Chains A and B, each alone.
Chain A
Amino acid sequence: MDTNFYPFHYLVLFAILIFGSTLFVLLGAFPLARFGVVLVSSVVYILWGAFYHSYSERLSCSIFLEYALLAVFVVVLFAFLLELV
């Protein structure tokens, strides 16, 4: 259970992801640029996680790894989907 709930942090994350999604839609004809958006959004997600947990003084290597692995998972899936390999 998350005992530290910071609505503003969630709002920031939501805004970042919505901005990324909008760019993703607008760049419909450019798969490489789309992938760039996914990559940048994923890096921002990791940074958000690191900031969120360091703010509540709970950041650890395992937590950082959790964010990083989820971000890599999303990036790899989009590379597969957008056929960039």
Chain B
Amino acid sequence: MKSHFLPHPKKGTRAKLLSPTAFFGYIFFVCSLIFTTKIISLKYPLILGYATNVRVEDLLEYTNLERQQLGLQSLKLDSKLNNAAYSKATDMFSNNYWAHTSPSGVQPWSFIVDSGYDYIYAGENLARDFNNSKSVIKAWMNSPTHRDNIISSNYEQIGFAVVNGKLNGEETTLVVEMFGSLKTPDYLAVNNVEGVKTLIEKDFKAIPIPILNVKTLNRNVSLVIMLFVLFLFILDGLYVWKKGIVRISGNTLAHILILLIAIVGVWYTSLGSIL
């Protein structure tokens, strides 16, 4: 058992779990996982799928909580702004871009005007690849420009879209938050619990949430495997150093360095981005 985790003191070989055979095993295991998850997510999307737990009612609640903490009026959910946000999200998917302005120069305001919302002030926040509503609002609040939109006293209404699709070949959840205030007051926007619930039922199709999220699963499995191999290399390095073993092998410090940077990269891919 010891030889699986520690290098051989006399033969000058690495631990069995760091041998070429073991590495072939890890690579084979990851390749098998790639195909297994692919097949399961295609055949059983409700078990292993892509939908995240970002919900419009939560986004509205957290946005208004931030405003209430500053003594600002709560924003009312507006059907036209919901439609504008949805149009923007589908436009990003169909034209394959991730920006406020489309490659053909279409501004966010076009979607707002096209939805029939005659605005005097308008704003837009975008987010992608977040796992839950709270982390979306937190990321926006940490960015001065997005925060300015959330806590602006110029806005009275708000609309959202949470849409799944493929962007640059990657399964993505886009969140669009549109802010506005009308030139002439409109009393159709709502902020009471019942009104919000009814409007959400009317404007949004329920997205089924799978038991397991593919992205979360892939990230966690990658992290566990990498951390395990990193642990073995650290153990190997410490053991060889402590015992003063002289051997001819690859550079353990370099292996640790590349694994550490790869782990940071894996962790980074789990973070959503905002625009």
Contacts and interface: CB of A to CB of B under 8 A. Distances in A.
B176 to A, nearest CB: 16
Interface residues of A, number: 46
B90 to A, nearest CB: 17
B34 A74 contact: no
Interface residues of B, number: 51
Contacts of A60: 248
Contacts of B259: 70, 74
Please report whether the interface of chain B is mostly helix, strand, loop or mixed according to DSSP: helix
B31 to A, nearest CB: 6
Given A2-B253, A65-B20, A32 B168 contact: yes
Contacts of B23: 69-70, 72-73
Interface in B75-129: 98
Contacts of A43: none
A30 B168 contact: yes
Interface in A2-37: 2-3, 10, 13-14, 17-18, 20-21, 24-25, 28-32
Contacts of A71: 258
Contact of B246 (A1, A28, A29): A1
Interface in A41-85: 45, 48-49, 52-53, 58, 60, 62-63, 65-67, 69-74, 76-85
| 5 smallest beta-carbon distances between A and B, as pairs | A66-B250, A69-B23, A31-B170, A29-B98, A17-B261
